[in-house]
Structure 1
Amino acid sequence: MTYLAPNPDGRHVDTVPLRIPDLGAVPQQRDADTAEAPAEPPAPKKKGGGRDRYLDLLRALALVRVVVYHNFSWTWLPLVFPSMGVMFALAGSLMARSLSRPALSVIRGRLRRLLPPMWLFGSILVTAMILDGWGPNFKHHPNWWWGELTFWILPLSEPPFGTPLHGFGGLLDHTWAEQMAVPLWYLRAYLWYVLLSPLMLKAMRKLPWVTLFVPLALSFVVNSGLVDQSGRAMEAFTDFTTFGSCWLLGIAHHEGLLKKLPQYLIPSVTPIIMGFGYWWLMRAPVDNPRIGHDLEAVPFAQAVWSFGFVLLLLHLSPSWEQWPRPLERFNGLVSLLNSRAVSVYLWHNVALVLTLLITDPLWSVPFVYAHFQWVLVSQWFPLVVAVPLIALFIVLFGWMEDVAAKRRPRLFPYPRRPKGRRRYADAAG
């Protein structure tokens, strides 16, 4: 493992995926995705009064890219679209917008949106690990084990997981818990950014350009080989420095800092920045020659590449209050992914791991083995199986995001097309 213009009902859309309701919003107003289209053309709205669909699209693309990357492990994907940098930048922009209110109330709101879905995820995963043999004496000092469990409540450090486990008698790989816990680093990093955002915003307003590049400088030092990176504290600090400049770019975007630059400057310097990040990646040692250079395995290269990519995306931001006509067909999927972003991020790896329970027994079916081996060996087959499982997890657990946001729980918030919208759109055209 994100920003935006507010909804008409006063709610803000969060990064990774979180939207924080504005308690002062007018309760009679409806969400922009569900309100019926007016019979007559609406009155002109003030600029910036609607949801920014461009940023919604970026968040949805980031989530899809994460799922695809975890299935295929294509090392070129983070270069084509560095999802984590994009998500942190969008979250930083939304956080800066929200900090027009008292900082403590904003932080409480973010924690309320983040923690309940994680607690639900953790309660199921920890129970499953205990049933598979995990416990205080499982490669842990008893006191440390109980103490580390508190990170499942407040993830200031990565929550613990058992590895290797028994795999439920061979049904799952021995590293199943480690694979399912992969997304938790993002929640840890996001939490630290949220807690430090009031200070980061003040620093950006006083020394914007110095503050913007401080995380990149720290990332260079941390990954220079001169610093011992072992330990929980350094893990969190490494993630913080890797994406800190992306978060600050989101703040700069909200503060209007990027708009003060000459229009030609950002398109001119971003190829140089990204080229340097790519050069640093190519000179880094390769752990697995078969896989090749992986951007996500080289933190400083990832920091520089993501910074340049996000800088260009925010410079190009068209701020769509309505979808461009060619993209209208994707409104439902994009809206679903935005409203269930935390659930998709937390549960997609669980779905990918559980595909083995469905696909492995098919090798024992003679007809399938004789005629469909090409399907079973395809990397696309697990993804095809995982997508319905992700949808199932959205139905089973996604409602927690509504509860955390103090909304009416919905099982599958796929927006319906409002009556008359197509007719009105055609008439308007």
Structure 2
Amino acid sequence: MTTHTAPATEAPEQERTSRGGPVRDRYFDLLRALALFRVVLYHLTGWAWLPLVFPSMGVMFALAGNLMARSLKRPPVQVIRGRMRRLLPPLWLLGVVGVTGMVLQGWGPDADGHPGWWLLHLTFWIVPLSDPPYAEGLPGLHGYVGENWAADLAGPLWYIRAYLWYVLLSPLLLKALRAMPAVTIALPVALAVAFEQGYLNLPGERIPSALTDFSTFGACWILGMAHQEGILRRLPRYIVPSVAPVIALAGLWYALHHGFGPGNDLDSMPLAQALWSFGTVLLLLHISPSWSEWPRRLRRWAGPVGLLNSRAVTIYLWHNICILIAATLWDRLWSVTVLEQNVPGLLESPWPVLVLAWVLIGGCVAAFGWVEDLAAKQKPRLWPKSEPRVRVRGARRRAAPGG
């Protein structure tokens, strides 16, 4: 399964109308912002413990599943079309920039000896039913972008592919959830066990990769749908706090007994990731305070959280290449003798690189984020200062970008 990295849809379930307008769920906004920030930090540092502190991808898929279930009160075809309209234009812009750069560096139909397949696979940059192709081993760009930059550019795209398949399957998943809640929620985890124990082996790479992602995070998506449907609220209050930690700890136990640590974290152990994410997401949805307004101690963060929600897809798609550029630029300082001799600790620190990466991400938000507005049929904004808008049944209203 592709290394996990991690985004814009309907208003969260807890939104209610007030004075003729909707009330945003600030708790969901905060979870989404934390997930994005943790993704960037993890891809910069590679610290294995970060996915344990906050399983970003499980959270993002759960929020997206919640919003998808809410939207499916409308005709499924209409909902799916709207989701694809919001998701695909930012991907197309990334593809225009990235694929053009790859081609200029010599990538083309003869790169893998199968020109027909190369052209066919390029269509995954248009509709990512499978992972879009990219050039491997490209040289860096004039010391500003590191080597093999195309791999970093394409790294996050597994999420787009997985999200698209979840959207396409959601009408069926919702029907199954209403008919057999426990079985439907447990199915992805059972699939993860089948893969891990070798009970299920499939040829090739693309189909097994897609099914592995479903087995890893599908339960989180379905948990989000179950939360929206009120299924979790119908459980006795003691059930979730009793069961969720046991499931999460089972995932942690499995990870610790299979070499968990640097270079072998949860992303490389799908079953452990599935169990830990499931348990943690279940607890987070159980808490779900449904803030219609920011708590006083969190109001100072309203601006950054709103920006992250407004440009979630753009930040997600471009953050990896921003990290690569930031690391490449910072490494050039080692050639400054006075810095190398006097502040080697500063040059080795990830924190200046993190700041620089976020500056570059901000540049991408300004340069490319307007596509999210166009995709949502809104007036393009260079730098959104207000909260994101969304269509709610029967009217245009504000809402948060979700997975």
Amino acid at match of 1:75: A
Letter of the 1:241 partner, please give it: S
Identity %: 55
User: Shift of the alpha carbon at 1:191?
Assistant: 0.1
* 2:74 match: 101
Q: Which moved more, 1:48-57 or 1:268-277?
A: 48-57
User: Which amino acid letter does the alignment assign opposite residue 254 of structure 1?
Assistant: Q
Q: CA deviation at 1:365?
A: 2.5
What is the match of residue 274 of structure 2?
303
State the TM-score, normalizing by the size of structure 2.
0.89
CA distance in 1, matches of 2:243, 2:303: 36
* Alignment partner of 1:350 is 2:332: no
- Shift in alpha-carbon separation, 1:324–1:171, aligned structure 2, 3 A: closer
Moved more, 261-270 or 186-195: 261-270
1:137-156 aligned at under 5 Å gives the runs: 137-156=110-129
What one-letter code is carried by the residue in structure 1 that aligns with 2:216?
A: T
Q: Structure 1: which amino acid aligns with 2:332?
A: P
**Residue deviations 1:60-105, cap 9 Å, x none?**
0000000000000000010110000000000000000000001000
Q: Secondary structure at the match of 1:86?
A: helix
| Partner residue, 2:170 | 197
* Aligned counterparts of 1:174 and 1:358: Cα–Cα separation in 2: 13
Residue identity opposite 2:214 in structure 1: F
For 1:365, the equivalent position in structure 2 comes to: 336
Distance across 2 between alignment mates of 1:389 and 1:97: 35
Structure index of larger Rg: 1
The residue number in structure 2 matching 1:249 is 223
| 1:270 is the counterpart of 2:244 | yes
| Residues in 1 aligned to 2:236 and 2:215: alpha-carbon distance in whole angstroms | 28
Residue ranges of structure 2 left out of the alignment (5+ in a row): 388-403
**Is 2:364 aligned against 1:393?**
yes
Name the count of aligned residue pairs. Answer: 378
> For residue 382 of structure 2, what is the amino acid of its counterpart?
L
Measure the CA separation in 2 of the matches of 1:278 and 1:356: 31
Separation in 1, partners of 2:360, 2:141: 20
**120-129 or 162-171, larger mean C-alpha shift:** 162-171
- Residue 384 of structure 1: CA displacement? 1.7
- State the alpha-carbon separation in 2 of the partners of residues 83 and 387 from structure 1: 18
State whether structure 2 residue 191 is matched by structure 1 residue 184. Answer: no
Q: Within 5 A, what are the aligned runs for 1:104-253?
A: 104-168=77-141, 172-228=145-201, 230-253=204-227
Question: Residues 276 and 20 from structure 1, CA distance in 2 versus in 1: closer, same or farther, beyond 3 angstroms?
Answer: closer
User: What RMSD over aligned residues (CA atoms) do the two structures have, in Å?
Assistant: 2.2
TM-score of the pair, normalised by structure 1: 0.84
Structure 1 residue runs without a partner (length 5+): 2-15, 22-31, 33-43, 417-429
Q: Which amino acid aligns with 1:189?
A: A
Name the CA distance, whole Å, in 2 between partners of 1:363 and 1:301. Answer: 39
**CA, structure 1 residues 367+187, in 2 after alignment: closer, same or farther (shift >3 Å)?**
same
Shift of 1:330: 0.6
- Which residue does 2:9 correspond to in 1? 19
Q: In the aligned structure 2, how far is the partner of 1:101 from the partner of 1:358?
A: 48
State the 1:228 CA deviation: 3.4
Q: Measure how far apart 1:131 and its partner are.
A: 1.5
> Is contact 2:28-2:63 (8 Å) kept?
yes
With over 3 angstroms needed to count, the CA separation of the structure-2 counterparts of 1:357 and 1:271, relative to structure 1, is closer
CA distance, structure 1, for counterparts of residue 143 and residue 307 of structure 2? 35
CA contact (8 A) 2:24 2:292 kept: yes
Alpha carbons 1:17, 1:339 under 8 Å: kept:
no
Equivalent position of 1:72 in the other structure: 45
Residue 19 of structure 1 aligns to a residue whose secondary structure is coil
